[in-house]
Amino acid sequence: MLSADPSPTDPEEPRSQAEFDEEELVRRAQLGSAAAFEQLVVARGPQLYRYLAARLCDESDARDALQETLAAAWQGLPTLRSRSRFWPWVVGIATHKAADVARGRVRATEREPEAPAPDEDSAAEIREALAVLPDRFRQVLLLRYVLHLSEDEVASALGVRVGTVKSRSARARKALEELLR
Amino acid sequence: MKRNGSEIEDGRGRELFADLGRQTPPLDDRELRAMARSAAAEPRSPQAASTSLLSRTHWAHPFRWVGATVAVALVVGSGLGFSLGSSLTSPESARASFVGTGFLPAQGWTVVQSGRVDSRGVASAVAANVPLRPEDDLEAVPYATLEALPARGVVIVATFTTRGDPGADFAYPPQALPLQIATATPVPNGLVVPRPLGEYRLRAGIRGTNVDARIYFGTPKPSGELRAAAQRQLNQLAVAAERVTIFARPTIIGEEPVIVYGSVDSGRAGEEVTIQAKDCGSDFFRVFAGTTTRDGGGWSTVIFPRINTTLRAVWKDSASGQVGVRFRTPIFIDRQRQGAGFRVGVFGVRRSFWHKRVLVQRRQGGTWKTVKTVVLTEPAWTKFSLSVPKGSFVRAVLPLSQARPCYLPGFSRTLRT
């Protein structure tokens, strides 16, 4: 089985200075500071882009989805109540935008993996396997294993209960395992 | 490569997922910053504050495609009688007459604004009875100024957008100038920078323009004197109007419709507006659609252009500016219903594509490689045979050389053979 928790974190662990800084940047961005928003994007954008590229199997689509995500995030920041939840919140937006892009363009699930290097067959294999998984499974796996979100954060990002995330994770891992066997 | 469960169990799965991310070439900081700036350049719509972000409704972000670059647009209203940057205004300049959209500064006030509503339908203005701080990058909310706002300070931030979007217009009841501070709504849990400010909001539809004004007081409970000061500046608000305006979204389309909208300056409901279109290759505008205005003079309708098209709105004897809509060639590839071959072609277009060359590409080694060039022998499609391994991914591409000037290049959906 795949490990149930890809990035175990101690809930009691004090939050890092970086997280506090992020909250301050979020606060400023909520008030309308584009400079603060830019800093947030520089800090979180690369991770978000990697997730979108893995999710959409296409760098161009990932760029589009990222731009859409940022536009929506900027518009919606004033509605974000808990600044400490910024990251799962923005990942949730990205997830929806990725779904929109996948629906609106070439169906990502029918695509061959994007540019696997010759010595990276195994990753290509994972991509192919992911491509045939149902979308709700693929989302959970990518959020957990590419973005290393906790189950709680995945639940927040997808707007589902933690129990749903757990069951989807388990079923997704099992399905993936069968596909890779 | 086959693997068993134990390989995954021992952490290999985690590594494999990590590989997925690592294979993607990273975006550099410059590109990320450009994306952030582009996103933040759009003024926050009124709906953003009250609507869930994850809403799929198109109307939730009525001006998403408008893309106003406020920082760039914030120029002095030269010729409009507006004062410069953070200098205080003399009584003489405050009495100057002007045409434009924004604030004429009241005595002792500073205004910075973009002037007229631009071609994308957005303008903004900031007025303050204190000097604006230089570190404010002239955004919608002057954060540094608000942080240092004294108890007697007042800052008004106004955003102007063109009426016509029904999803937005309902929140802007038609009104006449001047706006009244007495009708402003207090914003609970407003800004805390770091001490609480008093925040009020006024929204009104004025002569084809939606005005969203946020008034910040240096104290949560502004005195009558402070409110009167804010009213004096609100009295200096002016909204210019073009006779008829038009906007479209999106402006690059595939099979989806285009929403066109705008307003007329009479501000009345029931006015007839004609949308005219000039298709690519045509020399004249033809009547394409018609609609009538709603309360406040806004109008909107949905159209389905099937070719690169230029649109304009006509109301009475006035024509709006023009907007262009470009159309991606809708191309398809599928298997023949009978026989072993394939079909490729375009659908739903207004022009013949006879003898246009279509590239058939196969996904191979991580890139798309052209494996065949097919000439359309019928006006819009043709049959062909293709020899590729079973299970290959193929697609059809109509390149720009074949699509122009009246279409954009098109890509089909991917087909697994």
* B275 shares a domain with B159: no
Lookup: tokens for B345:
């072609």
- A42 neighbourhood in chain B, CB within 8 Å: 29, 32-33, 36
* B172 shares a domain with B73: yes
Rounded mean pLDDT of A158-178?
A: 84
* B111 shares a domain with B258: no
Could you say which of B213, B238, B263 is where a domain stops? B238
B22 occurs within a structural domain: no
Contact pairs from chain A to chain B, CB under 8 Å: 197
A135 occurs within a structural domain: yes
* B85 shares a domain with B194: yes
Cα–Cα nearest to B112, from B92, B147, B87: B87
The residue range of the domain holding A163 is: 17-180
The residue range of the domain holding B171 is: 43-49+60-238
Lookup: tokens for B15:
């590594």
A6 occurs within a structural domain: no
* B393 shares a domain with B291: no
Confidence of residue A19 (pLDDT cuts 50, 70, 90): low
B347 occurs within a structural domain: yes
What digits encode the pLDDT tens for the residues A88-97?
Answer: 899 989 988 8
Q: What is the CATH number of the domain that holds A28?
A: 1.10.1740.10
Distance CA B214, CA B312 (A): 33
Q: What is the total residue count of chain A?
A: 181
Lookup: tokens for A56:
């959409």
Rounded mean pLDDT of A58-78?
A: 85
B132 occurs within a structural domain: yes
pLDDT tens, residue order, chain B (417 aa): 444 443 344 355 566 666 665 666 777 777 888 788 777 776 665 444 333 322 222 222 333 323 332 332 333 332 233 332 333 333 333 333 344 678 887 788 888 876 655 555 677 888 999 988 877 755 567 888 888 899 999 999 988 887 766 667 788 888 888 999 999 999 876 666 667 888 999 999 887 788 999 999 999 889 999 999 999 999 988 887 668 888 888 888 887 788 899 888 888 889 999 998 888 887 788 888 889 998 888 899 988 888 889 898 988 877 887 788 888 888 889 887 766 788 888 887 767 788 889 999 998 887 888 888 988 887 777 888 888 888 888 999 988 888 888 888 888 888 888
B181 occurs within a structural domain: yes
Interface of B with A in 274-313 (CB under 8 A): none
- A80 neighbourhood in chain B, CB within 8 Å: 53
The pLDDT, as a whole number, for residue B386 is 83
A11 occurs within a structural domain: no
* B351 shares a domain with B321: no
The pLDDT, as a whole number, for residue B98 is 41
The pLDDT, as a whole number, for residue B156 is 93
What is this model's ipTM? 0.74
Interface of B with A in 11-40 (CB under 8 A): 11, 13-14, 16-27, 29, 32-33, 35-40
B38 occurs within a structural domain: no
Q: What is the CATH number of the domain that holds B294?
A: 2.60.40.10
Number of structural domains found in chain B:
3
Q: Are the beta carbons of A117 and B414 separated by less than 8 Å? A: no
Q: Are the beta carbons of A106 and B367 separated by less than 8 Å? A: no
* B311 shares a domain with B162: no
Chain mean pLDDT for chain A = 75
Could you say which of B238, B267, B300 is where a domain stops? B238
Confidence of residue A61 (pLDDT cuts 50, 70, 90): confident
The answer to whether the predicted template modeling score (pTM) of the entire model surpasses 0.90 is no
Rounded mean pLDDT of A51-58?
A: 82
The pLDDT, as a whole number, for residue A23 is 82
B341 occurs within a structural domain: yes
The pLDDT, as a whole number, for residue B20 is 63
Beta strand extents in B82-138 (DSSP E only)? 102-103, 110-113, 122-128
* B361 shares a domain with B233: no
Number of structural domains found in chain A:
1
The pLDDT, as a whole number, for residue A34 is 79
A9 occurs within a structural domain: no
A46 occurs within a structural domain: yes
A12 occurs within a structural domain: no
The pLDDT, as a whole number, for residue B227 is 94
B13 occurs within a structural domain: no
A7 occurs within a structural domain: no
- A109 to chain B nearest CA, in Å? 10
Which one of B6, B15, B16 makes the best mutation probe of the A interface by having the most chain A beta carbons within 10 Å?
B16
- B14 neighbourhood in chain A, CB within 8 Å: 2-3, 6, 145
Cα–Cα nearest to A141, from B14, B12, B11: B14
* B278 shares a domain with B224: no
Q: What dihedral do alpha carbons B361, B408, B41, B302 form, nearest 10°?
A: -120
The pLDDT, as a whole number, for residue B208 is 74
Instruction: Pick left, alpha or beta for residue A51 (phi over 0 → left; psi -120 to 50 → alpha; otherwise beta).
Output: alpha
Confidence of residue A121 (pLDDT cuts 50, 70, 90): low
Interface of B with A in 362-401 (CB under 8 A): 363, 365-367, 393, 395
What digits encode the pLDDT tens for the residues A145-154?
Answer: 778 888 888 8
Q: Which long-range contacts (CB under 8 A, 24 or more apart) does B333-337 make?
A: B333/B360, B333/B394, B333/B395, B333/B396, B333/B412, B333/B413, B333/B415, B334/B415, B335/B415, B336/B383
Q: What dihedral do alpha carbons B346, B351, B352, B355 form, nearest 10°?
A: -80
Distance CA B242, CA B263 (A): 9
Could you say which of B301, B327, B353 is where a domain stops? B327
The pLDDT, as a whole number, for residue B216 is 92
* B193 shares a domain with B340: no
Q: Are the beta carbons of A67 and B191 separated by less than 8 Å? A: no
A4 occurs within a structural domain: no
B280 occurs within a structural domain: yes
* B232 shares a domain with B258: no
* B256 shares a domain with B144: no
